[in-house]
């Protein structure tokens, strides 16, 4: 397995995995498949080239099977913070350490960034495997966002987690 930072040239494969993620685990993302399915590729290329974001992908035999985004805060008073978003591993590759390797890459990158001192993420409260992973990496829960996501008539709570260097 190869873990590497994604670049604008990876836009098409990123879009494909992103749309899979939005369909497979809609409760885990603030965006929906319906909102993103028609995004122009240029928008994704721009996102993959954004200097405040670092997107990492996990590849097996050249196929993108997992992803994570590290996004630095850009406002002067918040530059000491960064957020982890869009952690996803395709179902056939779950339970094999892919998410751990992706998260380790994102944490390593955050530590390389001079001003970043804290990381934040949210995870669906019922996603016990993800919560165990984040806790094993040093994240701790500092709150719960009740009814954070609503899909049709069903609500999902999010655990709010942080990591301090």
Question: Is position 44 within any domain?
Answer: yes
Look at residues 72, 81, 67, 68 and name the one whose alpha carbon lies nearest to residue 53.
Answer: 72
- What is the predicted pLDDT for the residue at 98? 98
Q: In what order do the strands lie in the sheet with 53-60?
A: 2-5, 53-60, 63-72, 81-89, 118-124, 154-164, 140-151
- What is the predicted pLDDT for the residue at 43? 93
- What is the predicted pLDDT for the residue at 139? 98
Q: What is the mean pLDDT of residues 68-84?
A: 96
Measured CA to CA, the distance from residue 26 to residue 150 in angstroms comes to 10
Question: Is position 149 within any domain?
Answer: no
State pLDDT tens for residues 21-46. Answer: 999 999 999 999 999 999 999 999 99
Number of domains in the chain: 1
- Statement: residue 56 has pLDDT above 90: yes
Question: What percent of the chain stands above pLDDT 90?
Answer: 99
Domain of residue 74 covers: 2-117
Specify whether the CB–CB gap between 144 and 125 falls below 8 A.
yes
Measured CA to CA, the distance from residue 140 to residue 164 in angstroms comes to 9
- Statement: residue 114 has pLDDT above 90: no
- What is the predicted pLDDT for the residue at 80? 97
Question: Is position 19 within any domain?
Answer: yes
Residues 6+ apart with CB under 8 A from 116: 72, 79, 80, 81, 82, 110, 165
Question: Is position 139 within any domain?
Answer: no
Question: Is position 162 within any domain?
Answer: no
CATH code of the domain in which 28 resides = 3.40.630.30
Q: What is the mean pLDDT of residues 138-155?
A: 97
- Statement: residue 99 has pLDDT above 90: yes
Question: Is position 165 within any domain?
Answer: no
Specify whether the CB–CB gap between 143 and 158 falls below 8 A.
no
């Amino acid at each position: 397995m190869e873990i590497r930072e994604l670049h604008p040239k990876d836009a098409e494969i990123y879009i494909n995995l992103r749309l899979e993620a939005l369909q497979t685990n809609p409760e885990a993302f603030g965006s929906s498949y319906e909102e993103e399915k028609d995004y122009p590729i240029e928008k994704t290329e721009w996102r993959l080239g954004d200097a405040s974001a670092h997107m990492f992908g996990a590849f097996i035999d050249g196929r993108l099977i997992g992803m994570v985004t590290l996004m630095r805060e850009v406002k002067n008073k918040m530059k000491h913070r960064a957020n982890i978003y869009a952690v996803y591993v395709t179902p056939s590759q779950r339970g094999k350490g892919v998410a751990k390797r992706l998260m380790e890459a994102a944490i390593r990158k955050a530590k390389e960034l001079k001003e970043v001192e804290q990381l934040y993420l949210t995870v669906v409260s019922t996603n016990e495997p993800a919560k165990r992973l984040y806790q094993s990496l040093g994240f701790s829960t500092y709150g719960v966002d009740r009814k954070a996501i609503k899909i049709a008539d069903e609500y999902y709570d999010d655990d709010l987690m942080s990591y301090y260097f």
